[in-house]
Amino acid sequence: MNYFSLNKKAPNTTFKNAVIKGLAPDKGLYFPEKIEPLPKSFFDTIGALSNTEIAYETIKQFVSPDIPESVLKTIIEDTLCFDFPVIPINETISTLELFHGPTMAFKDVGARFMARCLGYFNTGKTEQVTVLVATSGDTGGAVANGFLDVKGVNVVILYPSGKVSDIQEKQLTTLGQNITALEVDGAFDDCQDMVKRAFLDEELTSVMQLTSANSINVARWLPQLFYFMFAYKSLHKTHRTIVFSIPSGNFGNICAGMMAQQLGLPIKHFIAANNANNVVTEYLKTNSYNPKPSVQTISNAMDVGNPSNFIRIQEIYNHNFDILKNNLSSYSFTDNETKMAIKELYDTYNYISDPHGAVGYLGCKAFLKSHPDTYCVFLETAHPTKFLDVVESVISETIDLPPQIKAVIDKEKVATKISNYGALKDFLLTSVH
């Protein structure tokens, strides 16, 4: 499979090169040249397949021939070493729990898959690769854990000071070894802008190999389509129209779901559940796309004012607004509505949700008002203990800490503070290179 830049001003390239480079030379995101749908028989018999088998069949066309079959199967087995249960909430709503991995966030799958791909590509090489990544919360911890001690790879994580939860911060600042955290005086958008700027800085790229582990990287983004396949495996016997409500920030997760749809997954519609950062919600109302500075909310991983992956979504639907709108609805919810949803889920259904999952739940409820015959699945993208202050104050209960959180909660934070791109560049040239 070859990949092209969505800016259409760079040469097409291989999966391997797209992973190593992260971003195309013309600043565009990479996208596969073609998407070959899977046979209907795959979906008819999906209930008999293991998660590993499902993942292999859905991802192999996107990585071939750069990763051999045997290596790809090993990478997938190493990546998918935890469960993805579908939990019923009521007669019309379920949740797909994506937080059973090592950092208790949905991004564990993409980070682990990408780390193993990059490790394979780097086998036997002496050149170091620097993974430069911006995080609004969970990406940092997942990338740090996924790439920890991968030979030949250094990881530098930028995160906005005071805008991630305490546990999220501990997960990305306490590992040491080949992982470095930079605490940025600014918002997530500032972190993301710095990362993109670094990729295009020839003074840096001439002396070091940079790549990204944000969802702009195809190896971080594409494996997220597994979730939708796994959910369908659990629910296909319901014989009801299944709709997914995805808490959406940088729009990588929902975009991966749409890729699963392109592969033939019989899903008719997606819901982008937004917090106050509602650029896409407004776009679907007006057909006018207007990025704006991000707003801080209690669902911080979605605090993105200019979603990188939305251009991929537009590409999937051929930049046709009517086709896109037929496949996508979007709603925006306040912090207060989010808290009320956390309380409702706990009081009515005895389910403890994190703020992001609660926004996804609200997306289900909003959609079901006008589409009562559908079955809606919202993605629970992070374990509620990652947002203890918010969740415990809403449900008035103390939540037991799982082992993954206990392992980092008392460790000492180690981070370097920076305030602008110049400081990032100096750090990379002096401390990493």
Compute the distance between CA of residue 395 and CA of residue 398 in angstroms, rounded to an integer: 8
Q: At what angle do helices 107-121 and 69-79 cross, to 10 degrees?
A: 140
Position of tokens 């991995």? Answer: 101
94: tokens are: 């379920």
Q: Is 200 helix (H, G, I), strand (E, B) or coil?
A: coil
Cα separation, 9 vs 13, whole angstroms: 12
> What positions carry a catalytic annotation?
107
The three-point CA angle 99-102-108 to 5° equals 65
Helices 166-173/138-147 angle, 10° precision: 30
Helices assigned H by DSSP within 267-354: 279-286, 310-316, 321-327, 335-349
Cα–Cα distances (Å) from 192 to 29, 59, 69, 136, in that order, read: 14, 27, 34, 9
Burial of residue 201 (number of CB atoms within 10 Å: 0-12, 13-18, 19+): middle
